[in-house]
Structure 1
Amino acid sequence: MLFNSFEFIFLFLPLTVCLYFFISRLVGSLSAKILLLSASMFFYARWNPAYSVLIIGSMLVNFGLGKALPAHPFKKTLLMLGLSGNLGLLFYYKYVDFFIETVNQFTRQQWPLVEIVLPLGISFFTFQQIAYLVDSYRGLTSEYNPISYGVFVSFFPQLVAGPIVHHREMMLQFSSPANFRINGFNLSKGFFIFLMGLAKKVVIADTFGVVANTGYAGVELLSTQEAWITSLAYAVQLYFDFSGYSDMAIGLALMFNIRLPINFDSPYKSKNIKEFWRRWHITLGRFLRDYVYIPLGGSKQGTPKTLGNLFLTFLLGGIWHGAGWTFVIWGMLHGLALVFYQLLQRFRFQVPNALAIVFTFLFVNFTWVFFRAADFSDAFTLLERMIVQHPGSSEFFLVANKYDSPVWLIGIILLFCPNSVEIGERFKPNLRYAILIVSLFLLNLLYLNSMIQQDFLYFDF
């Protein structure tokens, strides 16, 4: 089931919200949490019922390990077993075919691929549970019941593509009595934020996606201008697709009186690569900092070690995003850029803000090519055509012009306007916002009926 489906918007969501607060008032909070857990598992099972067993098994094992860790006499060994199990599961479902392909290339063997369908959200719920185990080992978790833990892991607004939430910021919310009482302001504000995120996805991201997909499908035919249009279209598509999903998650959670962390803060306004990673996919950056960079030693072991830790952290971040050498290169490039930035800071080198934003965006846009391209051949072909002058085909522009609507201008302008979080903070339940909600709702309905709808990009990660 997808957020951008009629089934979700007109059936699942209103039914779940109504039942949640009705059961909470009539029976109690525990029953409401059971309902929310059941609804979340149904939401996940609509994609592939067989993988429900996977996530349920993962939750049961990790909850048991988390409860046992604080007082276990061999807790370090137990933690290693838990981490190995989670990472092993992630490796099997996400990376085993990539590993086999790499071995075949280097050994000239023909080992058959496993060809497993990637379970939705496995990267996200695995990282959440790894953080839970590590914090349990450190004695930072409390005694939680399995229902609360199950809701923490499987809460449907953020289950499939984040934000990556931390138990500290979620568990107490699922235990607060106030959160089980219907709140009209949170309902209306949450629905408003959800509609803004939905518009980002179906109106802007999917429109740019048509052009990006057309360009990447035939990179060898593109002119220099068309290559730039292709790369920029994907940069805009990716931002509005993933930030749109995160906004929808935040809005949906708020309807249940749950506050999820912000995941995007206008990253294309960044003046350097370090700032970019403080604004882009914030919860992933937080996880990598707390559970990879700092355990490696962080910045406390001298400059060479610090830079090495920084590079390794972003290399692992690239691998997390996808099973392919293009993602490895993408992570390496961002790691090297951060190392270069750290070294440059020693010289107190200053660049005018406007120029710094342009330089940062150009670097990010060039590296997105590796993130999106099917292989190195396509990536280097597109980059070469962006740099070296080439004539191109007119067929690409037939597609580009077809979707060259005001959406293009609106999408680019919105990148530099107040973001949806900032707009949401100004929300007031008055006539002005009521008209805006109705307008967004009708606009989304119009585009939901269009033929250009595409899956969320981060479903592949």
Structure 2
Amino acid sequence: MLFNSYEFIFIFLPITFFIYFYLNSKRLTEVAKGFLVFSSLFFYSYWEIKYLPIILASMLFNYVIGTTLSKYDIKKNKKTFSKKSILIFGIICNVALLGYFKYADFFIENFNLFAGSDIELLHLLLPLAISFFTFQQIAYLVDSYRKETKEYDFLNYALFVTFFPQLIAGPIVHHKEMMPQFANIKNKIKNYKNIALGIFIFSMGLFKKVIIADTFAVWANTGFDVAQTLNFFEAWATSLSYTFQLYFDFSGYTDMAIGIALLFNIKLPINFNSPYKALDIQDFWRRWHITLSRFLRDYIYIPLGGNRKGPTRTYVNLLATFVIGGFWHGAGWTFIFWGFLHGVALAVHRLWQTIGFKLPKMIAWIITFNFVNIAWVFFRAKEWDDAIKVLSSMFSLDNIILPEKWERKVGFLNEWGVEFSRVYENISGKDNTTWFIFSSILIVLFLKNSNQYKTLFKAQFHLWIFTIIIFIYSIFSFSKTSDFLYFNF
């Protein structure tokens, strides 16, 4: 069930909302939580019922391990397994589950390639959201090991894992961030200010996904997957289309998740803070997919040693962290290379800071944005050849095509190999493609992001008019909706 669907917006969400608060109003708190868990599991299994046993088994396993870690007594358990060994066992089992479904075919395929064998691929269907709920539960185990969380109630733990707004694609939350909110008595009563703000944020996210991201999706998908060749402007339009599609798609999902959670008086952490305004790559990762960046820092980079063991080790740790982050996104060498590029960029940035060089803000932004845009090409490409096709045309001046209507004024450019025809023909683009790209650049650079609007929000008449307009416009555009990109990861 998609957030951007009629059945979710007009059936599932209203029914879940009203029954949850009705049960709370009758002081049936545990029943209300149980209903929310049931609704979340229904939401999850709506795509494919066979996903359900996997998440249930994962929850039960991690609840047992987490509870064992929380209650661990050194004196009582000195003759059994150590606390650290229990944690390692729990992490290995989680990684093994993720690895089996997500990476088994990748490893078999590469083993066949290097060993010359012919082992048959498993062709496993990737369980929905397995990357997100696995990372979230690994964080829970580590927090339990550190005595930073205590959860002895399986119903509460199930709610922590399955709460449907953030279940499928995050934000990745800590137990201590969300569960105290469910325990707060004030949050069991409808809060009309939160409802108004939630609808406002949800509508913004819906508009970003349905109107902006899905428009870019046509050009990005055609450029990467369909077009055999691309001219100079088509290649740049393809890469920029995916750059903006990914941002508006995923930040749109996050806005909708935050907005829906607010209806239930739950505040989820922000996940995006205008990342394309970043002036360096470190700043970008402080703004992009913030909860994943936090996870990579706290549970991979710092345990590896962080920056505590000298410059060389710091660079190695950065590189390792982002290669792992790239591999987490997908079972492919293009994802690993994307992570490698960002790891190298962060190492270079750290070295740059050590030397003490600073660039003018405009130049710093141009370098950062273009690096991110070029790196996204590898992230999006299904095969190396797709990435090379786009990148080679982006940096070739032998295939420039300008609009036919310009030929009268600048026809002399024919002598320089410039042709005049339909500029975006190979990516199904139109005359508005250029306008759409430049408008998006202006939006990400000069408009406030949804989190800033959230802090400034007041239930004023003009905001309600704005909300109604973008909500209705998005609703009538559902005929061209697509899945959220991060469902694939």
- TM-score, scaled to structure 2: 0.91
User: Residue 28 of structure 1: CA displacement?
Assistant: 2.3
List gaps (5 residues or longer) in structure 1.
none
2:458 corresponds to which residue? Answer: 428
* CA distance, structure 1, for counterparts of residue 362 and residue 68 of structure 2: 53
1:294 corresponds to which residue? Answer: 302
How big is each residue's C-alpha offset from its partner over 1:320-356, in whole Å with a ceiling of 9 and x where there is no partner? 1110000000000000000011111122111111111
1:383 corresponds to which residue? Answer: 391
**Kept after mapping to 1: 8 A contact 2:225/2:386:** no
1:89 corresponds to which residue? Answer: 97
How big is each residue's C-alpha offset from its partner over 1:125-165, in whole Å with a ceiling of 9 and x where there is no partner? 00010011111112111234111110110010000001111
Alignment of 1:124-135 (within 5 A): 124-135=132-143
Asked if 1:443 corresponds to 2:451, the answer is no
Mean Cα displacement is larger for which, 270-279 or 65-74? 65-74
1:203 corresponds to which residue? Answer: 211
2:251 corresponds to which residue? Answer: 243
How big is each residue's C-alpha offset from its partner over 1:240-268, in whole Å with a ceiling of 9 and x where there is no partner? 00010011111100110000000000000
The residue type equivalent to 1:176 in the other structure is: N
The residue type equivalent to 2:451 in the other structure is: V
* CA distance, structure 2, for counterparts of residue 157 and residue 412 of structure 1: 29
Equivalent residue of 1:190, what SS?
helix
Mean Cα displacement is larger for which, 110-119 or 330-339? 110-119
Alignment of 1:18-417 (within 5 A): 18-70=18-70, 71=72, 73=77, 74-391=82-399, 394=422, 396-397=424-425, 399-401=428-430, 404=433, 407-416=436-445, 417=447
The residue type equivalent to 2:457 in the other structure is: F
How big is each residue's C-alpha offset from its partner over 1:407-449, in whole Å with a ceiling of 9 and x where there is no partner? 5454332212101111122211121122112112111112113
Structure 1 pair 456–143 and aligned structure 2 pair: CA distance change class (3 A): closer
* CA distance, structure 2, for counterparts of residue 185 and residue 374 of structure 1: 44
**Kept after mapping to 2: 8 A contact 1:219/1:227:** no
User: Residue 389 of structure 1: CA displacement?
Assistant: 2.1
The residue type equivalent to 1:199 in the other structure is: F
* CA distance, structure 1, for counterparts of residue 441 and residue 90 of structure 2: 44
* CA distance, structure 1, for counterparts of residue 325 and residue 223 of structure 2: 27
1:457 corresponds to which residue? Answer: 485
How big is each residue's C-alpha offset from its partner over 1:340-382, in whole Å with a ceiling of 9 and x where there is no partner? 1111112211111111111100000010000001111111221
* CA distance, structure 2, for counterparts of residue 395 and residue 9 of structure 1: 39
* CA distance, structure 1, for counterparts of residue 349 and residue 376 of structure 2: 19
Determine what percentage of the aligned residue pairs are the same residue. Answer: 50
The residue type equivalent to 1:193 in the other structure is: I
The residue type equivalent to 2:444 in the other structure is: L
* CA distance, structure 2, for counterparts of residue 118 and residue 445 of structure 1: 29
* CA distance, structure 1, for counterparts of residue 386 and residue 115 of structure 2: 24
Structure 1 pair 424–406 and aligned structure 2 pair: CA distance change class (3 A): farther
Asked if 1:10 corresponds to 2:39, the answer is no
Structure 1 pair 266–117 and aligned structure 2 pair: CA distance change class (3 A): same
List gaps (5 residues or longer) in structure 2.
402-420
Computing the radius of gyration from Cα coordinates, the structure with the larger value is 2
Mean Cα displacement is larger for which, 145-154 or 212-221? 212-221
How big is each residue's C-alpha offset from its partner over 1:55-79, in whole Å with a ceiling of 9 and x where there is no partner? 0111111011111113153222211
How big is each residue's C-alpha offset from its partner over 1:102-128, in whole Å with a ceiling of 9 and x where there is no partner? 111111211111111111111000001
Equivalent residue of 2:286, what SS?
helix
The residue type equivalent to 2:130 in the other structure is: I
* CA distance, structure 1, for counterparts of residue 307 and residue 270 of structure 2: 26
* CA distance, structure 1, for counterparts of residue 212 and residue 219 of structure 2: 12
* CA distance, structure 2, for counterparts of residue 252 and residue 291 of structure 1: 28
* CA distance, structure 1, for counterparts of residue 435 and residue 469 of structure 2: 17
Mean Cα displacement is larger for which, 406-415 or 181-190? 406-415
Mean Cα displacement is larger for which, 402-411 or 340-349? 402-411
* CA distance, structure 2, for counterparts of residue 349 and residue 142 of structure 1: 46
* CA distance, structure 1, for counterparts of residue 95 and residue 390 of structure 2: 34
* CA distance, structure 1, for counterparts of residue 67 and residue 219 of structure 2: 50
Structure 1 pair 236–279 and aligned structure 2 pair: CA distance change class (3 A): same
Structure 1 pair 108–44 and aligned structure 2 pair: CA distance change class (3 A): same
**Kept after mapping to 2: 8 A contact 1:40/1:155:** yes
The residue type equivalent to 1:77 in the other structure is: S
Equivalent residue of 2:355, what SS?
coil
**Kept after mapping to 2: 8 A contact 1:220/1:382:** no
User: Residue 282 of structure 1: CA displacement?
Assistant: 0.3
The residue type equivalent to 1:316 in the other structure is: I
Equivalent residue of 2:204, what SS?
helix
The residue type equivalent to 1:446 in the other structure is: F
* CA distance, structure 1, for counterparts of residue 234 and residue 282 of structure 2: 30
- TM-score, scaled to structure 1: 0.97
* CA distance, structure 1, for counterparts of residue 398 and residue 93 of structure 2: 50
How big is each residue's C-alpha offset from its partner over 1:268-326, in whole Å with a ceiling of 9 and x where there is no partner? 00000000000000000000010001111111111111111111111100001110000
Mean Cα displacement is larger for which, 15-24 or 423-432? 423-432
* CA distance, structure 1, for counterparts of residue 389 and residue 460 of structure 2: 52
* CA distance, structure 2, for counterparts of residue 346 and residue 427 of structure 1: 41
Alignment: residue pair count: 459
User: Residue 390 of structure 1: CA displacement?
Assistant: 3.8
User: Residue 22 of structure 1: CA displacement?
Assistant: 0.6
* CA distance, structure 2, for counterparts of residue 219 and residue 404 of structure 1: 16
The residue type equivalent to 1:78 in the other structure is: I
Equivalent residue of 2:303, what SS?
helix
**Kept after mapping to 2: 8 A contact 1:203/1:407:** no
Equivalent residue of 1:296, what SS?
coil
Equivalent residue of 1:126, what SS?
helix
